[in-house]
Structure 1
Amino acid sequence: MLKRDTISSALKQALVGTDKCRLTTLRLIQAAIRDRDEAAKAHGGDGVADSDIVEMLQTMVRQRDVSAREFEEMGQLDLAEQEKRESQIIREFLPRQVEGDAMQALCAETVTDLDAHGLRDIGRCMSALKTRYPGQMDFVKASCVVRDLLRVGSNGSALASNGAADTRPAGDGDESGKLS
C-alpha cells in the first residue's frame, strides 16, 4: 500500500475518533503531500513518490524533536508534549528505523564494501546507504557515523575499532598509525 493511501486511511479513521491532535497532525501531513504534488506537477512531474513522502515525514519528525527540546528549555512543557505527540504520530508512517549499533555496523559494512579510505568518500558512501536502506535510517546521523569511520580510516588507524575490517593494503601508513 502506498504511503499516501495509508495516511488517507488513517485520516478517515481519525475523523471518526476523538483524538484532535492525531486528526490535525494527519491533516498537516496530507496538506504537505498535496503541496509537494502540486509543485511536482507544476514542473512536469506526476507527483511525489513514496520515497519523497518518507523524506518529508523524516524532516517533519526532526523539526518536532528540535521544537520539543526548545520548548522544554524554555519551560513550556505543554507545548513540548504536543510536539512529542505529533512526532509519535508521524513516526507511525515511517519504515522501522535502523539505529545505534545496527546503524554503525551497516555504515561500516558500506565503507568496507566501497573500499572508502578518506573523507573525500563520504558522498559515495552516503549515496550507497541511501540506495541500500531508503527511509530506514536517519541519514544525518548516518553521515556522522560514516564521517567518523572515514576520519579514523584516513588517520591510518584500522576501521576494525568501529566494527569493520581494514581492507587497505599494507604500507598505507607507518607503524605508529600516523600518515607520513
Structure 2
Amino acid sequence: MSLVDDLKNAQKDAMRAKDKVRLGTIRMTLAAVKQREIDEQITLDDAAVLAVITKAVKQRQDAASQYDDANRPELAAKEREEIAVLETFLPQPLTDDEVAALIDNAITSTGAAGMQDMGKVMGVLKPQVQGRTDMGALSGKVKARLNP
C-alpha cells in the first residue's frame, strides 16, 4: 500500500473518530501532495510523498520555535501536535551509529577525497536517509568527515 493510500485511510479514521487536529493535518498534507502533483504534472511516488511530509514537519518545527520566541505557547503546542501526527507517517529515525555507517559507505562508494566531493556523497545519502534524519545535521557530519 502506498503512502498516499495510508494518508487517505488515516483521514477516514480521523473523520470517524472526530479527531479534528489529526484530520486537519492529514488534509493539509494531502493538499500539499496534490498541489505538487498538479504543479509538476506527475504522480508522486512514496519517496516524493515522504519528501512532502518531511518538509511539512520542518515547517512546523520552525513555526513552533518562532511561536516560542514570540511567547505564544498555545500556538507552539498546536504546531507540535501536528508534528506528532505527521511523524506517524515517517519511517523510524536513524541512530547516530547507523548514520555514521551510511556516511562511511557513501564516502567509500564514491571515492570521495575532500570537500569537492561533498555533492557526490550527499547525492548517494539523500535517498537512503530521506525522512529518517535531519539533512542539515547530516550535511554537517559529512563535512566533518571530508574535512580532516
Give the alignment's TM-score, normalised by structure 2. 0.91
Structure 1 match to 2:56: 60
CA distance in 2: counterparts of 1:33 and 1:22, whole angstroms: 17
Higher relative contact order (CA 8 A, sep 6+): 2
Structure 2 unaligned blocks of 5 or more? none
Query: SS of 2:80's equivalent?
Result: helix
Deviation at 1:118, TM superposition (A): 0.8
1:8 corresponds to which residue? 8
CA distance in structure 2 between the partners assigned to 1:81 and 1:135 by the alignment:
22
Q: Distance in 2 between matches of 1:99 and 1:74?
A: 32
Structure 1: which 5+ residue stretches go unaligned? 153-180
CA distance in 2, matches of 1:109, 1:138: 18
Q: Superposition RMSD on alpha carbons, in Å?
A: 1.6
Q: 1:74 to 1:131 in 2, by over 3 A?
A: closer
The one of 81, 84, 87 equivalent to 1:91 is 87
Instruction: Give the length in aligned residue pairs.
Output: 148
Deviations 1:20-65 (A, max 9, x none): 1111101101111111121232xxx3x2121111011111111111
- Give the equivalent residue in structure 1 for 2:110: 114
TM-score with structure 1 length normalisation?
0.76
Residue among 90, 98, 101 paired with 1:102: 98
- Determine the C-alpha separation between the residues in 2 that align with 1:21 and 1:139: 27
Determine the C-alpha separation between the residues in 2 that align with 1:21 and 1:135. 22
Correspondence for 2:34: 34
What amino acid maps onto 2:45 in structure 1? A
Q: Percent identity?
A: 28
How far apart, CA to CA, are the structure 2 residues paired with 1:7 and 1:99? Answer: 26
SS in 2 for 1:75: coil
